[in-house]
Amino acid sequence: MAPRPRRAPPARTRTGLPSSLTETAPIVLVPGFWLGAWAWDEVADRLRSNGHDVTPLTLPGLGSVPADRSSVSFADHVEAIEAAVGSAEGPVVLAVHSGAGAPGHEVVDRVPEAIAAMVYVDTGAATGPMNRDFDGAEWPRPSAEDLAAEENLDGLTDEQLDTFRARAVPQPGAALREGPTLTNPARLGVPTTVICTSFSSDEYRAAVEQGYPFLAGLADLHELTYVDLPTSHRPMWSRPDDLAELLSDISRHA
Q: What is the residue range of 201's domain?
A: 27-253
Write down the pLDDT at residue 186: 98
Write down the pLDDT at residue 23: 80
CATH of the domain at 66: 3.40.50.1820
Domain assignment present for residue 197? The answer is: yes
Q: Residue 1 pLDDT > 70, yes or no? A: no
Q: Could you tell me what percent of the chain has a pLDDT over 70?
A: 91
Domain assignment present for residue 16? The answer is: no
The 10s digit of each residue's pLDDT in 131-167 is 999 999 999 999 999 999 999 999 999 999 999 999 9
Domain assignment present for residue 176? The answer is: yes
- DSSP category for residue 189: G
The 10s digit of each residue's pLDDT in 38-86 is 999 999 999 999 999 999 999 999 999 999 999 999 999 999 999 999 9
Helix (H, G, I), strand (E, B) or coil at 56: strand
CB atoms within 10 A of CB 15: 8
Q: How many domains does the chain have?
A: 1
Domain assignment present for residue 114? The answer is: yes
Domain assignment present for residue 17? The answer is: no
Give one DSSP letter per residue of 166-180, joined into a string: HH--PEETHHHH---
Q: Residue 11 pLDDT > 50, yes or no? A: no
